[in-house]
Amino acid sequence: MSISHHKVAFVTVADEHAGQRIDNFLASRLKGLPRSRLYRLLRKGEVRVNKGRVKPEYKLASGDLVRIPPMQLLDASEPAPVSAALAARLQSAVLYEDSEWVVINKPAGLAVHGGSGESLGLIEALRQVRAGQPAENLELCHRLDKDTSGCLVVAKKRAALKRFHAALRDKQLQKHYLALVVGHWPRGLDVVNAPLQKNVLRSGERMVCVDKAGKPSKTLFSVAQRVGQYTLLNVQPISGRTHQI
């Protein structure tokens, strides 16, 4: 079954969505649209904001006019069901919770959201598991790569999400990672500065490479432990580039 949108739609951004990324805004409205197709619409300029092209990371402002092209969507009324094993895994992975936030210990191998070949991501699964919770509008505050485990902050309210993003923008928050690498990390190598260029493949996957034309990035490294042919590193990205580590 599918849902057809035969006319161009124009949506005016409300105050509550100010500061939200355009890709997340579209994903919340175009249920069933794969992320790969969403990024393709943005890349080709079929989705426009105030008559202009925008990148996926564009932050919406109140009053922005978003153009959404006619399309055919998969019916999202019946999302893939969460298995009992995954539901139990997510419920036991809650590290902290209050009226505004849920902090999840995301397991490696689980994407944070569906799309690009992923039928179900953590946020979609979490929404199903917690469907009975009143007054919750769960949104990812940030992302972790599919193969990365660690703390993932989820906001229960739009206002909390905006405060989190403001704190990130004002550098009031720090991200710390543990990374296990093969070989002996060179002594004295504690800072890596490299210009990173982001490319979006046809599949919608984002790839990053070191390129002089890229944006500057800075990452701090320190050795936590050396074990045989491996080194465990403490890693702190100072800039916030995609796939920086």
Nearest to 3 by CA among 37, 23, 31: 31
- Are 66 and 129 within one domain? no
Helix (H, G, I), strand (E, B) or coil at 36: helix
pLDDT tens for the chain, residues 1 to 245: 344 455 788 889 887 788 889 998 898 788 667 788 889 999 999 999 999 999 999 999 988 999 998 876 544 445 578 899 999 999 999 999 999 999 999 999 999 987 656 668 899 899 888 887 766 788 899 989 888 999 999 999 888 988 998 898 888 988 899 999 999 999 888 999 999 988 877 766 678 889 888 899 999 999 999 999 999 999 999 887 877 88
Q: Which amino acid is at 221?
A: F
When divided into structural domains, the chain yields a total of 3
Q: Last residue of a domain, which of 129, 153, 169?
A: 169
Distance in angstroms (rounded) separating the CA atoms of residues 31 and 202: 21
Say which residues have a Cβ less than 8 Å from residue 1's Cβ, sequence separation at least 6. 75
The CATH number given to whatever domain includes residue 117 is 3.30.2350.10
* pTM (whole model) above 0.75: no
Task: At 30, give phi and psi (nearest 5°).
Answer: -100, 70
242, part of any domain: no
Distance in angstroms (rounded) separating the CA atoms of residues 53 and 66: 10
**What domain range is 185 assigned to?**
177-237
124, part of any domain: yes
Q: Last residue of a domain, which of 45, 74, 103?
A: 74
> What does the block give as tokens for 95?
């590290």
Nearest to 190 by CA among 242, 236, 227: 236
- Are 38 and 91 within one domain? no
79, part of any domain: no
Q: Which residues are catalytic?
A: 145
- Are 188 and 128 within one domain? no
- Are 157 and 182 within one domain? no
Parallel, antiparallel, or unpaired for β 177-182 and 230-237? antiparallel
Distance in angstroms (rounded) separating the CA atoms of residues 217 and 237: 8
Asked if 23 and 38 touch (Cβ cutoff 8 Å), the reply is yes
245, part of any domain: no
- Are 124 and 188 within one domain? no
Asked if 91 and 128 touch (Cβ cutoff 8 Å), the reply is no
Could you give the count of Cα atoms lying within 13 Å of 31 in the half-sphere of its Cβ? 9
157, part of any domain: yes
Q: Last residue of a domain, which of 10, 44, 74?
A: 74
Task: At 161, give phi and psi (nearest 5°).
Answer: -60, -45
Helix (H, G, I), strand (E, B) or coil at 235: strand
70, part of any domain: yes
- Are 118 and 158 within one domain? yes
Asked if 50 and 62 touch (Cβ cutoff 8 Å), the reply is no
The CATH number given to whatever domain includes residue 37 is 3.10.290.10
